Amino acid sequence: MFASARTMRLCEVSLFRLEMRGWRSYGVSANLFKYFLQVRRLFRRGSDQTMRRKAACVLLLSAATALCMAWNAAGGQVTFASIPPEVSSTHFTVKIGHKSTPVVSAASGYYLLNFDISSPVQVTVTASDPHYWDRGVEVQPMRFGIRPRRDGASITFPLEQPAKLTITRPGEHYADSEMLFLFANKPERYRITANTPGVRYYGPGVHRENIDAHEGDNIYLAAGAVIMGALNIWQVDNVHVSGLGMLLYNGPQDPDHDTGWMHKLNWHVITMDSAHGIEIEGITAVVRSRTWMIQMRDSRGVTFRNVKVVGGSPGNANQDGMDWLGGGDTLVQDSFIRAADDIFAMYGNWDGYTEEALATPGHEVSNITIESSVLSTSISNVVRANWPKKIFDSNHFTLRDSDVIHMGMGSCGVPFALVELWADPAGKGLQSNYRIEDVRLEDWYSLVQLRQPNPAIRDVHFENISAMDGPGLAPSELKGDVSGVTFRDVNLGAGNVREDANIPLQVMDGAAEPAYGHSAEAADFSYTGGLIRPGRKVTFTVPAAIGVRYHWLFGDGAAADGAVIQHSFADADGTLLDGTGRYRVLLAATDASGRTRWSSRTLVVRPSLMAAQTEEGMPQGLVKIAGSDASYEGMVRIPADGGYTLTLLTSTTASLSVDGERTQSGMLRPQVCGSKGAAVQAVRVSVALAAGLHRVEIDRGPEIENAASSKEPVLLWEGPGMMREPVSASALLHAAH
């Protein structure tokens, strides 16, 4: 029987895969692989007399291909290195396909694991505590739509592509939280060994040393290598650092004060000084001490690609992700940063906190692009430029196509934000041409704080910003010599913002009003009203537009495509497996240009409705609970049967109750830098309610309330036919006395 050219080509491709990806990882024996090579040589020589051997090649290589496919389906395409015992932990055990491994104990309560995948896999995470996941589990970024299946101490989910995931229990994204970071990398493109010429090679195991880069160095950290020290790229050019190894830095900095700003050798996990032509890719950098993590002074032509940076310390401060003290021309691509201060900060210079040091003019920072990255911090801002007394210029900063999964909660003089350009009151310099595009906000505090009385802030552009779940917790502000600010296709959970009140935004002290624009309507959708029980089919509808593709993530691990979709929810456990019945439904609308716009709704699944009261003639407004100056009670009028989520914004020790179903506030998080009180947080209750009146009770403690300028509580609602918005005054009532 003669083999077709197409089949022969498949044989060639299959054998090439075996050669390139490692035949052992496919379960192929050495002798069998050698025989494949021998048969291929005969096949390539080809003649009529060798057709039977050609057929043998087809059979053997087809069998090998089938074996590869079976191994892939079970998750066989996984590679991870052994973890040295000095950093290994069994607090979590991760099984990927057929392989299990402990994790790295990184910093504070953070754990991580690097591995390679080249095909879809199944991931199982097992905690050492059998009750660890009792309060639920969250996997971020949300755009992957991952909702694990729980079995006791284990959670399991499919992973279809390389990703940088954060796994926590609900609400645990602060410095004292436990977090697991899973970094699923693409297979390495370099095949570097200890014998590769011209390479400074660090093999698997622990190396207790600092690395000082030399001019033209090619430094390779192999998977499983742990460098207990710093990487110094000091006044040298053309340095390339790669590999899947790890830098682990734990310096001598004061844990109670900021000494981490100092610019000197061995003081940060990565330090650059007047360096040019630097490329760093693949590595992980962990910081355990209170210091700025990656500090660059007057360096340009720098690229970070697939770099993972994780910092944590008891002080929960001064672990900036990346700082530019002058310089720029930097690309950060496909990277992950977990910081304990500003993720990206630009200062021009920094030589301490004395009046003279702060007022010394710094160098320009320019041409920085952050893209396709996952960003997280326990405190402070995502992007910061300037400080109240600094003097320098910055321009052409771009953040695009990235997931902000955690932003700092609270305030350091001003509320933490996605972008903070703060030089109030005495800073100077032109900060211009900032573009924030295609950014997805998850746990976030405020959108923007631009405050500079002296010249000047110009041309700050926000486009296609999507709040994936939950409201902003503090207003934004433009103050001083600020102009050229635009918001285009910004959807913070209630459709595209069209005016200051939609953000909300305060414009003061001479700042120019921003411009609002829309290239398209937000892809807002509706769903079937009424009680949504487990198993009931729900119809989701979005007004279809020509050339737009719609992809749904229902919050239960399922997905679908189309403008009109029916879906049922199997249980009332909710997206976070926390028993609330609250599901986060996301819609991604991708147009012909490839730009994706996201919209989000909260849907509640419950077995039954809570019955309503029907009393008429009640006066409007909630009333204070006797003996309290901050707690209120009354009734809320629900317009239609269905699931509703009511949200109280508060910075106090508080609880929110609807018909007796109560949620308590989380731990209060004190604000810093002299800001009074605690950070605002969202207290949410999700319930299924019949149309009519339902009892509401808001208990607030004596602490400072930062959620509103008045003493009245800030209460939001969302439900069938209703995007998240403040509860209307006419819907809040109380019994007449």
Residues 238 and 361 in one domain: yes
* Residues 6 or more apart in contact with residue 611 via CB below 8 angstroms: 690
Q: Residue 72 has what pLDDT?
A: 46
Give me the pLDDT at residue 107, please: 94
Residues pairing with 452 in the sheet? 480
Q: How confident is the model at residue 524 (pLDDT cuts 50, 70, 90)?
A: confident
Chain segment 273-323, per-residue pLDDT in tens: 999 999 999 999 999 999 999 999 999 999 999 999 999 988 889 999 999
CB atoms within 10 A of CB 664: 11
Closest CA to 580 of 138, 174, 179: 138
State the Cα–Cα distance between residues 294 and 344, nearest whole angstrom.
10
Per the structure, the count of domains in the chain is: 5
Question: In this structure, is residue 618 part of a structural domain?
Answer: no
**Are 57 and 84 found together in one domain?**
no
| Domain harbouring 141, CATH code | 2.60.350.10
Farthest-apart Cα atoms in the chain, separation: 105
Closest C-alpha among 449, 493, 676 to residue 598: 493
Q: Is 479 contained in some domain? A: no
> 498 in a domain, yes or no?
no
Instruction: Please state, rounded to an integer, the average pLDDT across all residues of the chain.
Output: 90
CATH number for the domain that contains residue 416 = 2.160.20.10
Domain limits for position 421: 204-467+484-490
Residue % of the chain over a pLDDT of 70: 89
Residue 160 · residue 120 · CB < 8 Å: yes
Do residue 399 and residue 534 come from a single domain?
no
Tokens of 354: 């004395």
243 and 285 both lie in a single domain: yes
Of 52, 73, 94, which closes a domain? 73
Residue 224 in any domain: the answer is: yes
pLDDT at residue 640 tops 80:
yes
Q: Report pLDDT for 248.
A: 98
Question: Cβ(508)–Cβ(451) under 8 Å?
Answer: no
Same domain, 689 and 704: yes
- Domain end, chosen from 123, 156, 185, is at 185
Instruction: Please determine, for residue 50, whether its predicted confidence score (pLDDT) is greater than 70.
Output: no
Tell me whether residue 712 is in a domain: yes
Strand (E) or helix (H) holding 359: helix 355-359
- Taking the CA atoms of residue 482, residue 483, residue 489 and residue 490 in that order, the dihedral angle to the nearest 10 degrees is 10
State pLDDT tens for residues 148-159: 999 999 999 999
Percentage of the chain modeled with pLDDT above 90: 80
- Contact predicate 634/623, CB 8 Å: yes
What pLDDT does residue 177 have? 95
Question: What is the identity of the amino acid at 565?
Answer: I
Band of pLDDT at residue 712, cut at 50, 70 and 90: confident
pLDDT tens for residues 124-138?
Answer: 999 999 999 999 999
Domain check: are 262 and 402 in the same one? yes
Give the phi and the psi of residue 355 in degrees, each rounded to 5. -55, -45
**Cβ 226 vs Cβ 87: under 8 Å:** yes
Most confident of 12-21, 77-86, 446-455: 446-455
pLDDT of 22 over the 50 cut: no
Tokens for 625? 């609970």
Name residue, tokens 């972008």: 419
Direct distance between the N- and C-terminal alpha carbons of the chain, in angstroms, rounded to an integer: 96
- φ, ψ of residue 536 to 5 degrees: the values are -75, 135
**Residue-wise pLDDT tens digits, 245-258:** 999 999 999 999 99
b/e map of 114-146 (b: 16 or more CB within 10 Å)? Answer: bbbbbbebbbbbbbeeeebbeebbbbbbbbbbb
| Over residues 16-26, mean pLDDT | 42
* Structure tokens belonging to residue 369: 């692009």
Residues 582, 666, single domain; the answer is no
Top pLDDT among 584 and 63 is at 584
Give the position of tokens 């208990």.
Answer: 699
Judgement on whether residues 30 and 173 belong to the same structural domain of the protein: no
CA distance 499 to 461: 15
Query: What is the rounded distance in angstroms from the CA atom of residue 574 to the CA atom of residue 644?
Result: 13
Distance in angstroms (rounded) separating the CA atoms of residues 322 and 164: 19
Residue 509's Cβ-count burial label (10 Å; 0-12, 13-18, 19+) is middle
Pair 161, 237 in one domain: no
Packing angle of the helix pair 30-45, 51-73 (nearest 10 deg): 140
The DSSP letter of residue 572 is S
Q: Please name the amino acid found at residue 549.
A: R
**Minimum mean pLDDT among 229-233, 485-489, 611-615: which range?**
611-615
420/391 same-domain check: yes
> CA 152 → CA 96, 171, 379, distances in Å?
18, 20, 32
Would you call 383 helix, strand, or coil by DSSP? strand
Location of structure tokens 């923007």? 448
In the prediction, which pLDDT does 75 show?
46
Within a domain: 193: no
The CATH number linked to 592 is: 2.60.40.10
Q: Are residues 585 and 663 in the same domain?
A: no
Q: How far apart are CA 103 and CA 90, in angstroms?
A: 6
Report the pLDDT value the prediction gives residue 78, as an integer from 0 to 100.
86
Contact status, residue 17 vs residue 10, Cβ threshold 8 Å: no
pLDDT digits (tens, 9 = 90+) for 321-378: 999 999 999 999 999 999 999 999 999 999 999 999 999 999 999 999 999 999 999 9
Residue 477 in any domain: the answer is no
Picking from 604, 638, 670, the residue at the C-terminal end of a domain is 604
Residues 228 and 255 in one domain: yes
Answer whether residue 197 is part of any domain. Answer: no
